[in-house]
Amino acid sequence: MAKTIAVIPARGGSKRLPKKNILDLNGKPLIAHSILYALAQKEIDDVYVSTNDPAIKTVALTFGAKVIDRPEAISGDHEPTITSVQHVLERLDFDVDQVVLLQATNPLRPKSLFTNAFKHFLEQQTDCLFTVTRNHDKLGHIQNNRFIPFNYTPGQRSQDLKPLFFENGLLYITKASAIKKGFIISETGFPFEVSHPFASVDIDTAEDFEYANFVLKTYHHE
């Protein structure tokens, strides 16, 4: 019987925020938040962390995840996420139907997010689903020291803007067959909208980490 697995890529060697994947976020290592979230979902059969770092491996095992040792050849700064997920699938000796990709740097997710997203994934009969959030900013380009509006005209009210969305990184669900072909999001991927403060948390810097602590303490009940 094919399984649904969660994969959490977490390489070592972060430069802007050293050891960020195991820094303490409200009493638990950063990566533990994603591990525990995945373990709490009844639809997920196994949770795997892909890492090249012994310290991350120890934390992952401590919090109940299985670990796939990632080769250094696919652990570089510019290595795309898809290669680590493909490597996990290559190492397993059973069939996988779909992969739930959780990024350690997006540790906060509404409790009901996965259940609702997985239901939509099955109903849409798509090969992938990913979470997005609406952006309400007035955006533009700077060319020759001039600001060129992109999504509005000067004087236009924010509430009248044409809706634009950003990929927030909270959750990806993709058929294993699609991952083997080389993509996590396809052209026909289903965008699942999330409107929640957790969608604004993406940790790369110390400031991001402080903001994550604030958001978690404020909205922990959700």
- For the chain, the residue count is 222
Domain boundaries, the chain: 3-134+166-219
Neighbouring residues of 102: CB distance < 8 A, sequence distance ≥ 6: 6, 7, 8, 34, 37, 38, 171, 172
Distance in angstroms (rounded) separating the CA atoms of residues 157 and 153: 9
Cα 102 to Cα 184: distance, rounded to the nearest angstrom:
12
Please tell me the number of Cα atoms within 13 Å of 195 on its side-chain side: 3
Q: What is the pLDDT of residues 167-183, one digit of tens each?
A: 999 999 999 999 999 99
**Residues 155-176: what's their mean pLDDT?**
92
pTM assigned to the model: 0.93
Q: What is the pLDDT of residues 34-58, one digit of tens each?
A: 999 999 999 999 999 999 999 999 9
Q: How confident is the model at residue 136 (pLDDT cuts 50, 70, 90)?
A: confident
Rounded Cα distance between 188 and 127, Å, is 8
* CATH code, 3-134+166-219: 3.90.550.10
pLDDT of res. 40: 98
Neighbour tally for 26: CB within 10 Å: 13
Beta-bridge partner residues of 24: 29
Q: What digits encode the pLDDT tens for the residues 60-81?
A: 999 999 999 999 999 988 899 9
Q: What is the pLDDT of residues 103-121, one digit of tens each?
A: 999 999 999 999 999 999 9
Q: How far apart are CA 10 and CA 153, in angstroms?
A: 42
pLDDT-above-70 percentage for the chain: 99
Label residue 164 by pLDDT band (50, 70, 90): very high
